[in-house]
Structure 1
Amino acid sequence: MRLPRAPRLPLPAWTATLTWKAAVFITVMCCALAALLGVLVHVSVTRQTVGEARNKALDRLMDVTRMYEAGEQLPPGSGLDPPQLPASLRALAVSGRRGTLVDDDNGRPTMWAAGPADGKALAAEIDYTQSARTINGLDKAILGSSILAIGATLLVGVFAVTRITRRLHQTATVARRIDAGDLDARVNDPRTKDPSRHQDEVATVAGALDTMASTLQGKLLSEQRFTADVAHELRTPLTGLHAAAELLPEGRPAELVRDRVRAMRSLTEDLLEISRLDAGSETVDLDLQQLAPVVERVVRGSVASGTAEADTTVTVVRDACVETDKRRLERVVGNLVANAHRHGKAPVELTVHGPVVTVRDHGTGYPDYLLDHGPQRFRTDAGSKGHGLGLTIAVGQAAVIGAELTFSNAPDGGAVARLELPEYVDLESPAGEGAPNGE
């Protein structure tokens, strides 16, 4: 039976940053390098220190052996089968070989040397305390210097990486500003200004982003100028065409001509409005408005003008006072209602719930491209009437008045447009209620 895997604990967001990863990498590499160098130095110095002590012990053993063979009295620290002699070294000497061993003699490090003598072990000892202190001091010095080296390297590495990540964050911030519509945003990395100066990878990315933004801005400005120029140039002949159509004798052909002229004039006005929105030249005239009466008035006007049908209902859950531009608000709501009737299916339901206006139809819903990327001018579903400018203008005007317009599809079918405006709250009112109608 296969046991289920335990769920992974989510790591904090800061662990995904390049600075943290670089710090961990530098720390691990420094620790590995310090450990490797420390081991090499420790082994080398220990081998040298132990070798010197071993030679001294063997030299002392040779002196003791000569004295033993001459029948002289053995000096202190030597003897035949001393009780402190380690058993392993004793066995080695009894077997006929000489050897050395470091052992602890009553808390004192001692280097023993032993050899055979008449079937017994003749041993001599020397004080190993100074050698042990040397090795311990060396180990502490290696550890302390390693910690200092790791800390210094980590600080320098993090400082260098932070400079790079700061430039990357600046580049990302500029990219987000461009994505939000600020086409004047540039990184302006100083490394990209001087051709004789070598560029690193970050400067290359920053320069490419600035070049892309400049090219994109130029193309968009060219398109905006083209749209505005075409719309302006069409107004004069359309005005003459409209006057000429009014002089035609009454009849079906005259009605068809007038209807097409009205459609062309409406399209031209929409293009002019879009060009003004693209240019950012629109100014708002803010005033306090009760939201429900404005919505009801837009619906009545849409029904009267024929852009909306009679089965358009308005439900007020809670009215709210909003500070907005009434003309632009009416334009947004009117376009949403007209779009619901043109591309959706009746009944069309409008709901006012505080500062939020919801427009819903019962058609097939918004297409996927609109939900993913928002309205696109001159793009509609196959077989649909219109030019895709109504929702584009609604989004632009909503942004001008500081409202948020979102699009979705209802679970049981139908398109849903949600317009949320900033609600006005009178802080001086005891109940915190909205101000009265500012019309």
Structure 2
Amino acid sequence: MNITRRALMRGIGVAGLAAATPGIFAPAIAQAKPVRIGILAPRSGAMGTVGECGIRAVQWAAERMNKDGGIAGRPIELVIEEETSPKDTIERFRRLVLQEKVDCVQGLISTGVSLGVAPTAEEEQALLIMWDGTTQDGVKEAMPKSNYVFRSTDNECEAVMASLLAIKYFKGKIKRIAGINPDYSYGRNNWEAFQQILRRAGVEAEVVAEQWPKVGTMDLTSHVAALKAAKPDFIFSSMLFADLPVFMKQGSAAGLFEGVNIALPAAGWQINQLKKEFMPENVVFGHNTLYFALPTASPLQKAFVDDYMGRYKEAPHWEADRAYFALAAYKAGVEAANKATGRWPKLDEIIAAIPEQKVQSLGGPGQFRKDKIAEQTFYQGLSTNKNTYDFPTLSTVDSFTADQLQKPPGVDFWDWIKTSKLPV
């Protein structure tokens, strides 16, 4: 694949960049050698809007940090490339490292892609900090001892939390369960985790239907009909792409949700598309690591959300937090190592410093464990349509930290589900 050099864009604002060709984003500050951060994020296809939210956030973060001195006195320069297929994204990763000479690569949303890029980062001895990507093969960690790769929280965190909240709010009302989940490991593992957590809580529910649509299926009427015929009293769905709003709209039109409680652990990715006109209330609604309307939000989150919603006329979701967190964690590691050495630190010194650095991200405090897996704060709750937006917000807000929702290092996920001290 031939990759043409991106257009060079310096000294332009975030709003201008968002509509421009992907390339280099370098807010002008002091004339010091910039810290070059490569960004890999989707900009089209099923995850295009997700990637764009993350890109907007990391641009906002770079601009804000540069106004405050950058990273250890050096300005941040972003070099943006697109995440697409594993093969093409690996090639772009190598280009960022070998040609663009970036100091660190950040981004990646698809675990399918990150599983391919991570070994390349180890091979090239290049620092990679993932936004939402993991190195999980199903629920098993495929890279337990990475040297250069920092990973997102486990894929199952939101499903574990939604399962616990289903018990908290609806225990005694869950008798007949149905699932409609994406037909790949994420969906299948989340559905299994939901059932196991119910059983552990003493909820004896009958599985009356299981639907497995392929990702991106936009005609879900047959799935809706099958679910309705099964007469569940609780529906669990870990759908998270553009097919989720389609399912909710078609399900509402068919009367599927009448008298039925629902858990949507990953709904936050589609917050702007889940319109009140077809969304029932009291849904267990997952916002992952950023709930834009958090009543106890930090000044940082308030500033970001106000700016984002004012500029883009929509709510930001958790990919914004993941992007901000990656850059903040890198900055904290560099500056800790800089303080310890009295000079610009070497790569191995930065990598050693990043774990255990507590940073304030958009959604709250977070850090990386020593095994380079993130620990952040998750938000879910029951939805309400009583607000000034055209989509649901939360009437109740529950928050759990990732150490309550994901397996410890070296532990099998299914063993952990059976034996851990769960927060509900």
Fold shared, TM-score > 0.5 on shorter chain: no
TM-score (norm 1): 0.22
Larger Rg: 1
TM-score (norm 2): 0.22
